[in-house]
Amino acid sequence: MIRRSRVLSWLFIFVLVAILPATTLHAQSESDDLLVLLTTIETGGQPSAIVVDHSAGRNDVIFYDGDRVRFIDGDTLTLLPESISLPTAAWDGWMVYDTYHQQAYVLTTRNRETPMHVFWKEVQVHIVAGRTLLGSFSINEPYNSDTLNPADRFYGLHGLALKESMAEGTNSSRLIVDDTANGNIDVVDLNASGTDVLRRQRHSYRETLCSGSYCVWALNQGNGLALETKHETVVPDDLTNVDVLYISDPNREEQGLPLDGYIRALQINHPLQDLDAVV
């Protein structure tokens, strides 16, 4: 397996971007600074995924710190004492924020064992709001009920996308997770509160690069998923009834080696409908 080295970052740096009218920007000389350093916050640990939380009237910054979720007061830019223990077997943190429900979804992985002592990798979602853990659910447990041959002996988590509740009409929230090693996306549609699963779907966009728990594959450098829900510049909008999911894949199975990847665009239906994925 080809692995990306993990950088142990010890500091978060916060900057303020000055947004100026276009005419003003053109008038600025090249030497003018448009970014101002507000402060540097020492966090220790291994900070990775980060979102901003506005629940309960707060302006918190939430970040994943190796094995826990931690918080920064966005008004005072100070590290807060609260934390939520969420260990993971992944190499880095994964998190998205739903502005409609005002809650963050934090993804972790862990090793599970069947009654026949076969190991598989579970992806869990933890809901965090107001510096509190609201609940958790599994992305892929139902696919691993075979005690001898669970589907996810390995799970290459390297992409996460969110369609927020009410983004189009009355749609529910949808989480999409990319398992790059096996060439799968897991699509999970949530209930009205965004805290539990109503429907799971899995789509394979290419052949797996794994044999059991052994995989030869290349990692995405960053998030490998992006979701397009509206083409607002097209009249009428041609994505009224469907979405487009972009998958960055550094692997091509027909070459036999994880080289010269490409980006796929999949058309998928809206939450709670059959995916009916079309390349």
pLDDT in tens, 110-132: 999 999 999 999 999 999 998 99
> pLDDT tens across 11-61, in order?
443 434 333 444 444 545 555 667 899 999 999 888 989 999 988 788 999
Angle at 140 between CA 89 and CA 275, to 5 degrees: 130
Task: Give the chain's largest Cα–Cα span.
Answer: 70
Measured CA distances, 151 to 119, 120, 210 (Å): 10, 8, 11
Mean pLDDT score of the chain, rounded to an integer? Answer: 86
CA torsion angle 147 151 154 159 (round to 10)? -140
pLDDT given for residue 7 in this prediction? 37
pTM of the predicted structure, to 2 decimals = 0.85
Which pLDDT does position 93 carry in this prediction? 87
CA angle, corner 222, sides to 2 and 210, nearest 5? 35
Mean pLDDT across 78-106: 94
Compare 169 and 184 and report the one with higher pLDDT: 184
